[in-house]
Amino acid sequence: MKSFKSLFLFGLIFISVFAQAQFSQKPLPYSKESLEPYIDAATMDIHYNKHHAAYVTNLNKALEGKTDAPKTIEELLANVSKCSPAVRNNGGGHFNHELFWSILSAEKSAPSSKLEKAINDAFGDVNAMKEAVNKAGQTQFGSGWSWLYVNSDGKLAVCSTPNQDNPLMDVCQCKGIPVLGIDVWEHAYYLKYQNKRADYLNNIWNIINWKQVSDNYEMAIKKISMK
């Protein structure tokens, strides 16, 4: 009995000393069919269960034994210049997809008045902002993302990044807090749209979760103002 207790204590100490970040996927907040016809169920299935899942598996593998690595994904990305390419690619991949799933929804919504005002101030109107995001996505050569983000001045801006980079990363040319990100990797649209990335970008605005994007904007503004 006594040895069991000491074994248990040893186990607890072992876990607390050698604990490392273990990342996992949140469940999709809707069924994979629900974004039809704009994003098809087969694409959602492969994208979430294969691509995103692989980023998480490979991120955890890349962090194995690295007990001093930051424990939150945001901290990890903010210091990604000190990490391996595997952490950069898979850590970015994990964060970007969690954001992507959360800003999509079949339910109709509209930007909050605060977000709409910020969009109007930065771009003129909501349509001009959409055009800027689409253009960034369309002109991103190869794989990457198109972002609407809050920059260090607290203003909304648009940029694109290659691969799985994002504005949270210290290596990114556009730095800030992303509020909306569109995946423009071919795996995000190829089954339904083939080479027509522009059609995918135009259609995705039918399924944007503006409630979430508005919340992301307010949180980003708060974080930037505390810096």
Nearer to Mn ion, 165 or 183 (CB): 183
Kindly list the residues in this chain that would bind Mn ion in the complex (CB under 5 A): 183, 185
Rounded least distance, CB 221 to Mn ion, Å: 27
Cβ nearer to Mn ion, comparing 70 with 94: 94
Q: How far is the CB of 13 from Mn ion (least distance, A)?
A: 40
Q: Cβ-closest residue to Mn ion?
A: 183
Closest distance of CB 56 from Mn ion, Å: 12
Q: Which is nearer to Mn ion, 70 or 93 (CB)?
A: 93
**Residue closer to Mn ion (CB basis): 147 or 185:** 185
- Residue 106 C-beta: closest distance to Mn ion, Å: 19
Residue 224: CB partners within 8 Å, gap ≥ 6? 150, 152, 154, 176, 177
Residue number with CB closer to Mn ion (45 or 64): 45
206/109 Cα distance (integer angstroms) = 10
Q: How far is the CB of 64 from Mn ion (least distance, A)?
A: 24
